[in-house]
Structure formats: C-alpha cells, structure tokens
Structure 1
Amino acid sequence: MRSHSVRHGYLVGPGGGRLHYLDHCSDHDGTSSTGSTDGTGGTGGPRETLVCLHGVTDSAWVWHDVAAALTGRCRVIALDLRGHGDSQWSAAHEYGTAEHAADLAALLGHLGGGPFHLAGSSWGALIALSHAAALPEQVRSLTLVDIEPSSGRSETDVPPRPASFVRHSAVAAWERAYAPHAPALLTELIAAQSVRPGPRGLLYRKHNPYFLSRWPFRSDDHWAELDAVTCPALVVQAGKTSVRPSVTRRMAARLRHGAHTEIPESNHTVPTDAPDALAGALRAFLA
C-alpha cells in the first residue's frame, strides 16, 4: 500500500516533548514524500488550513483518506496527539484534555497564519472544542465528530484491545474489525502505521500502554465550552455508535452557529469507517 503525498513535520510541545504531524499535500503524485514543512505547506503560498485530531489509541493516519479528498480545498494537517503515533510519550502521564489542547495551540503557533479550521474525532473533538472555547479568534470553523461533551463512564472503563501482534496480517485483521466499512487500502495503511517492531519480534502499538487501561477524557465535562464557541460549528453523528443522537443534536442547538449531520453507515471511528462521507460533509460545511 502507498499513501498519497504527505510531508512529516515536528515541533516541541509546551511540555517539552516532541510532537509529530502530517502535512497532506495538494500536489498528489501517488507517492509518499517526507521532509520539513513551512507555513505554506510547500505549495506556493498560504491557504486556509484544516487541522485534524484523532481519538484515543489512534493516530494522525486515520485522517488520510479524508485529507486526500480535501487537499484541493485546503491545506490539511493531522496531529499525532502526545503519547500516540510518532509523538513523544509523557513520562508523568500528562494526558489530560487540557495538555492536549496546549499542544494544539503550540501546533497552530508553529504553523502560523490562521485562523484555522479544526476537526476532531472522539477525544480529538473535545480537544478542538476546548481550544475553540478558549481562543475563539484562532478558529474559523469547528467540526466535532461523534462525541458527547461528558461521559457517565469511569476513566478505567476501557474496552480491551491488544498491545502487540505477532504479524502484520493480525494488525490488519484487528483494524478491519475496528472499522469494518473502511476502504481496504486505508485499513492496510493504518495497520502499517499503527505499530512498530519491538522485543521478541512482535509488533507493538504506537501509543503509550497507559491508554490500554485509562482514558482521561472520561472525567471531562465540556458542556459549558459549547457556549463560548463563536465560529460556525458542525456536529457529526455516526449511525452505528453508542454516542446518542439526542445529545449531539442538543450540542448543535447549544452552539451559537451550530449545525448537525448524520453519517448513518459509520461506526464511531468515522474518519476511517466512512472517510468519503465525512469528507463530503466537511466539504459542504467548509464551502
């Protein structure tokens, strides 16, 4: 499998850890490329920028197909949250939503320009919401994908998932079960990018094992932040998920310039399970 054109960028976050992001290029040539980025994305001038944030135990790569569909519309940046992907882990387990939001603010400062379009899936949506509420002047639009502002579950109420795999085919099989409607090539790409070789010849998940037992955002309450968002905002509801439509509609109604849309054939991992539908919703929203 091969990705479309993408460049890798790095910065040091406010906690001193290295952060990694993907800069999806508009000059598609069907191959992957690497290198540093500047404020224009290397494409000849500044454009509107969409910054995408993934959910817990995922990585920036889950946005690959959505980004590929949108790069003609805007520059698309996808961040590896701290403790995930190729971003550094926190030795002190500083993984609260506030810490991630501080990393996002550092990334936006690093990119320059703005204001920015923000899109977040699951935990990434709560991080984007926190930033939009705290610094509304930096946010042109906000997209919140399949999340509720608060949860009745404990931080330690985490579904079981493997920490390692014997071979790549086992990773790909797990990803297919996790996002059963995802395009086959996207599943293979995420399977390749979500693990790294390690001891005993196994493939290990590229996230801190901390997230196998604790999801800090489960203790959050972000309802009041919805009132502070001043930009246009889109709330996306997946059709096959435990996230309740009654709650996401209430979110959209509470936002000052809120809209609501549903992607009925997707599970919770919308960027991978239904990338074309999500890209279409974003394209219409950003028009």
Structure 2
Amino acid sequence: MVRRIDVIGAGGVHLAAWEFADPPKNAEHEGAPGVLLLHGLMGRASHWAATARWLSERHRAVALDQRGHGQSDKPAEGAYTREAYVDDAEAALEQLGLAPAVLVGHAMGALTAWQLAAKRPDLVSGLVICDMRASPLGAASQREWEDWFRSWPLPFAALADVRKWFGEDDPWVERPNPARGAFYAEVMAESKDGWRPVFEPEQMLRSRQTWVHDAHWEELAQVRCPALVVRGLDGELGRAEAQEMVRVLPHGRYAEVADAGHLVHYDQPEAWRAAIGPFLQDVLAHPGSEKTG
C-alpha cells in the first residue's frame, strides 16, 4: 500500500510525501528512528519505492516529491533556490514527525540532505550520500544540460519509446542501460499529444543552476552525524573525490557499487541495499551516537 501525506514546504508550496508500506506495519514502528528519502533532479518519490519498502520492514520510511517534481507543486521561477529545497526537507521532517531521521539522498537530494544536516543537526541522525559531488561542475556542464534537454524527441508516442530512447538511443549516453529507460519512463505523464515529463525542463535547469557553480565542501565538513558516501563505479562521482568527501566528513564512511552508473539504486538495487544496509542498521539501531568507520 502507498499512502500520500501532504506537507507544506517553504513559501507555502504543497509537497507530496509517500509511505510505501501498510499502515499497520508503520504503526508497529511508531517512535522508531525514521528515514526520509530524497530523489535527485528530475526524479520522484516513486523511484525510492523498492528501497522504502525494504526499510519499512523495520523503520518508518517516507519518500518526498521535492518541489517541481512528481506530484508536488511546481511554482514559478525564483522558487528553486538551495535554501528552498533545504527548507522543504526540514519542514517534511518536522511535519511528518520523523526527526531525528536518517536522510538518504541521491544526487541533488544528497546535497539537500547534507546541507540540512549541517543546518539542523538536531533533526538528522545519519546521512547517505549517493553519487553527488562536492566540487563545482561549472558553466560548461549547465550548457550541456540545456543542449541535452533540447535533444529530447518530445512528445513520445508511447512509454515504450521513452524506455527505448533513454535506455538505448540517447546520444548523450555512452552505452545502453535498460534501467535508465525505466527510470525516465517513471517521470513521464500522458498528455493530449503524447508522453511528456511531469516536470518543466526550465525549472530543472534553474534548480541545477543553484549548485553547479558552487563548491559544497564547507557544508560537508559541518555534518556531525555518521555519513556514508556511496558511488557507482561508472557514476559521476569519482573515487578520489568520494574518498576526499569521506575524509572531510567528521564521521564519514565509504561504499561503492560495481556495474552501476549514476542511478545506483536503480541500476543495481540488491547491491545498493547491501552497500547501505550495514550502515543503516548501525545508525538506526544507535540513534544519536557518533561512530566512525
């Protein structure tokens, strides 16, 4: 069973939070440490469904559609600052009664997670950072994304075309990846003329603009809770930078997943769970403790 819970984020933006577990099971874990899952740019809460259901066997796990994504509000320009995303996650933790919680973030969601952990250490007991860099990506990266969005053959006639284009035909990707096709099929909705993304590409570019030019090492160093940095061996976060992030984190640990790209939890779900499982078990079993590994 999937249950939607409405959250009011920064500036009154309505956000959709999702529990991927039966209410009786959640009731059994009332008062247990919670987990908030934050998707990456262009993602949505449903991308965490398998992870959330796995976590919900022992803990209350909630995934958030961040602003501009999924079924959450998509406000006009000016509403996609780093502060807004962080404030939304803060509001979600407080309104859902999850804190102190473990934050599990992918890409942009991971950045939001560690920025919130630095800002409100009282709300965060642990942190999983999946394939997000602390170094700036630069202006060239933003231009590449603009060109990539323009290359999308919208609208797609069918979901099968979405899966094929993103999984096999996307000229910006070096090798075919069926999991990538499935990932993007999940963020499409049917319209009168075909299938289009549930988000506005321009809003995604504005969201991205707020971090590609900045470094985030200082905020990383301010994270006081245990933190796990996870990278796919073929992802966007290189090993050297990942290990430097672990060094900068006061209580950092490291894990990597073989045969996985940027979409680690989608490419290799079993290996992803094996990589984060021991860390989560430790942190969730000992909330508030500081452990190094």
Instruction: Give the TM-score band, short-chain normalised.
Output: 0.7 to 0.9
Q: Which residue of 1 aligns with 2:220?
A: 226
CA contact (8 A) 1:139 1:231 kept: yes
Q: Which residue of 1 aligns with 2:161?
A: 170
Q: Secondary structure at the match of 1:182?
A: helix
- Relative to structure 1, is the Cα distance of residues 212 and 142 closer, same or farther in structure 2, using a 3 angstrom cutoff? closer
> What is the correspondence of 1:1-287 to structure 2 with a 5 Å cutoff?
5-25=1-21, 41-43=26-28, 45-154=30-139, 155-158=142-145, 160-161=148-149, 162=152, 164-174=155-165, 176-177=167-168, 180=177, 182=179, 187=182, 191=185, 193-200=186-193, 202-211=194-203, 213-214=205-206, 215-216=208-209, 217-287=211-281
Q: Distance in 2 between matches of 1:49 and 1:164?
A: 39
- Matched AA of 1:112: G
Q: Distance in 2 between matches of 1:205 and 1:44?
A: 35
Q: Secondary structure at the match of 2:31?
A: coil
CA contact (8 A) 1:119 1:144 kept: yes
Q: Distance in 1 between matches of 2:180 and 2:214?
A: 33
Unaligned runs of 5+ in 1: 29-39
Q: Secondary structure at the match of 2:161?
A: helix
Q: Distance in 2 between matches of 1:125 and 1:265?
A: 21
Shift of 1:117: 0.3
How many pairs are equivalent? Answer: 267
Please state which structure has a larger fraction of its residues in helix: 2
Report the more deviating stretch, 91-100 or 118-127: 91-100
Q: Secondary structure at the match of 2:114?
A: helix
Shift of 1:181: 6.0
Q: Distance in 2 between matches of 1:245 and 1:69?
A: 27
Shift of 1:285: 0.5
Deviations along 1:72-124, one digit per CA (max 9) or x if unpaired, are 13221111110011111121242122210010011011111420000111111
CA contact (8 A) 1:56 1:211 kept: no
CA contact (8 A) 2:265 2:272 kept: yes
Shift of 1:183: 10
- Relative to structure 1, is the Cα distance of residues 70 and 181 closer, same or farther in structure 2, using a 3 angstrom cutoff? farther
Deviations along 1:207-260, one digit per CA (max 9) or x if unpaired, are 122146452221232100112111100000110123211001000011111001
Q: Secondary structure at the match of 2:219?
A: helix
- Matched AA of 1:61: S
- Relative to structure 1, is the Cα distance of residues 208 and 61 closer, same or farther in structure 2, using a 3 angstrom cutoff? same
Deviations along 1:109-140, one digit per CA (max 9) or x if unpaired, are 11114200001111111000100000111111
Q: Which runs of 4 or more aligned residues in structure 1 lie more than 6 Å from their structure 2 counterparts after TM superposition?
A: none
CA contact (8 A) 2:29 2:59 kept: no
Q: Distance in 2 between matches of 1:279 and 1:182?
A: 16
Output the aligned Cα RMSD: 2.4
Q: Distance in 2 between matches of 1:18 and 1:244?
A: 36
- Matched AA of 2:198: K
Shift of 1:27: 6.8
Q: Distance in 2 between matches of 1:282 and 1:131?
A: 20
Identity %: 28
Q: Distance in 1 between matches of 2:96 and 2:135?
A: 30
Q: Distance in 2 between matches of 1:95 and 1:89?
A: 9
CA contact (8 A) 2:21 2:56 kept: yes
- Relative to structure 1, is the Cα distance of residues 65 and 89 closer, same or farther in structure 2, using a 3 angstrom cutoff? same
